[in-house]
Chains A and B, each alone.
Chain A
């Protein structure tokens, strides 16, 4: 197997948690991604949870999760001596990723135009809560703040409680991947034309991009879709998506026509084995069943029978029966289920990475697979300044005296 698709390319990653995932995608493509942190390590190293619950710059599991595969240096880019070294680095790389407040890099003389003057082919990927320009561009953000503004938060939660956030940092994760996509497109363009550019990503906009159904409902019919608990409103009727079982939760969704017929019938037949009264029997031909046309009252009767039915079974029983019967019910996994998943194991998804502090833990190895190239995370996230010597001395050719000078000026 050959190295990752973009091996040979180089990148500097100055992001905080807003942009970690972008650099992680690039490093898995084989790009040499160097995390550039302020001397002592970035503040984002103190995001919980921590290894063995003991806080420390080398112990953040959040930081370690999304910085695998990267190398690490420390450099005070505001420090005049540090600026000089940074400019030298910029002349040697293909990408710079950053998530500073818009305007900060300009203020210290390292804005996009200044970087372009150093390296015209450079791709600068900027990932911020609201984007580089516009009336909210200087607003302070976070995962919660950006998704609140995107419309995503409003669509999530039980109707009788406030809107509720989704999973961990879904918006930042999505924005990181959007940044990587814009970044590789810009890199391809630079390869073909010699022209670099800036990629501007707004977490708010990336999250809003998921809302096609809400956008259409408002734009076409002035209908506001609201949060619907564990259900999903696909058309006029709101139908249940997620259900409780004995020891967890599962996804089962009724689809119409040929798509849904086998699974609908399989569930109905399964229910028949246990229930005297089974409202799903009202449907005689599932192939002709029009899910979009089901009245709310009929669906509610179905759901009232399905809900206690699923509660009879454990997660393992649901998994087993779903495969056997084709009901297409899917158990909601917890982290340990994921680590044990035969599907993920058989594909080599988990990889053990050795970290001097964390020891040996299992991490996801890839975002996608290729037959011909290895697009993998191969090393644990870097310790603070782990690659200072190699990068400053061996790659930039700085003398020991010069490095000492930078150190005493607190630039590294």
Chain B
């Protein structure tokens, strides 16, 4: 797999070097929050347990992974790069001897259990604050930590439905469609959580004060459709699903190309862009028609316009359409699939979209890099940890336990 990247320009340290994170994050939102911090240099200790392993440690989709091992799932590897793993049985009372010291050690605590869970374990923010008064604490959830729906649970599809995004996705005459395999909030929310954490770290540098913060998928993703919320208030309009059409452009859509299920996208906004487009496709007779002379006219005759544009694209390869039209100043793209973006896209390759990391079980393969590039302190990925891989390191080196103390806890079955 192609992936040259940041490693050609190694930085001495990541942007978050020296930051210590106690990470109870799980599934996608919690795991990614910690990953963004870890890939940029924070020391992130993931606390987990063999008795309730993360779903991504057992998810065998798209891998030849085993039923028995918790350490060979590429899904987990992608989401947990650069972290340390401490396996700890939170139900064992003596786990508290390790946890209390970790709470004192940490700058940041990350968690996304169902609201109320840490409270029931006696491990909520108020408790942690008694041990570490300036700790920075972030919770992620679906609906928020308070309110009548706080303890309802769900997944990304729930987020799509509640945020209003779903009803804006798809065709006007059909049931709304799943937004891109059902993944959005799961990737947007951890970025917001990480924003909050890093801003709180800077705040603490200046004020000495810690912070309790929480973000919900409901609230973060509802922000995305604010224009529709204002349109309702201002104009009483529910625009709903419009396929690929938008009010201020035509053509604006996805058109057929040669090859099986291959498509290109074309977006023409202003009259100048329309003129450029018409010139690019060789000034066909129909383009001079009054039906297409202005944006208003093109919107009124959009079905016919799309049919004619589709005739032009349908004999061409999607990447050829893109290159040809872009050279002539037209906004155009190939609709790319996984094979295109992983194996063939020279732009993503040059950016180092995937960084090759040597995984202890799976061998070397391309891992997802946080999707932004810091010029002076680029992300550097280390492989995701095996379950409990760093128990001894955390107990003895990080927390300074003596060997007999560590062995005693080991025999008490605390690390499982």
Contact = CB atoms under 8 A, between A and B. Distances in A.
Contact of A343 (B16, B147, B229, B237): B147
B339 interface: yes
Interface in A182-211: 182, 184-189, 191-192, 195-202, 204-206, 208-211
Nearest to A127: B372
A249 B175 contact: yes
B374 A186 contact: yes
A295 to B, nearest CB: 16
B157 A53 contact: no
A332 B160 CA distance: 8
Q: Which 10 A-B pairs have the closest CB atoms?
A: A182-B372, A368-B215, A197-B376, A148-B265, A65-B226, A218-B338, A251-B161, A335-B232, A134-B350, A189-B15
Contacts of A195: 376
B238 interface: yes
Contacts of B228: 168, 335
A334 B180 contact: no
5 contacts: A49-B230, A131-B373, A188-B198, A332-B167, A367-B219
B165 A170 contact: yes
Interface stretch (B43-51, B116-124, B205-213, B388-396): B205-213
Contacts of B218: 343-344
A162 B253 contact: yes
Contact of B168 (A133, A161, A167, A369): A167
Contacts of B213: 368-371
Interface residues of A, number: 151
A305 B155 CA distance: 23
A199 B374 CA distance: 5
Given A177-B188, A188-B16, A368-B215, A333 B36 contact: no
Given A134-B350, A186-B377, A211-B183, A178 B196 contact: no
Contacts of A363: 226, 229-230
Given A131-B351, A219-B366, A332-B162, 13 more contacts: A149-B334, A162-B255, A168-B168, A188-B202, A213-B61, A215-B368, A218-B339, A242-B166, A332-B176, A334-B164, A344-B218, A346-B146, A370-B213
A242 B157 contact: yes
A156 interface: yes
A140 B329 contact: yes
A51 interface: yes
A144 interface: yes
Given A151-B336, A188-B201, A191-B202, A334 B167 contact: yes
Contact of A184 (B154, B195, B346, B375): B195
Most chain A beta carbons < 10 A, residue from B171, B238, B345: B345
A255 B228 CA distance: 32
B199 interface: yes
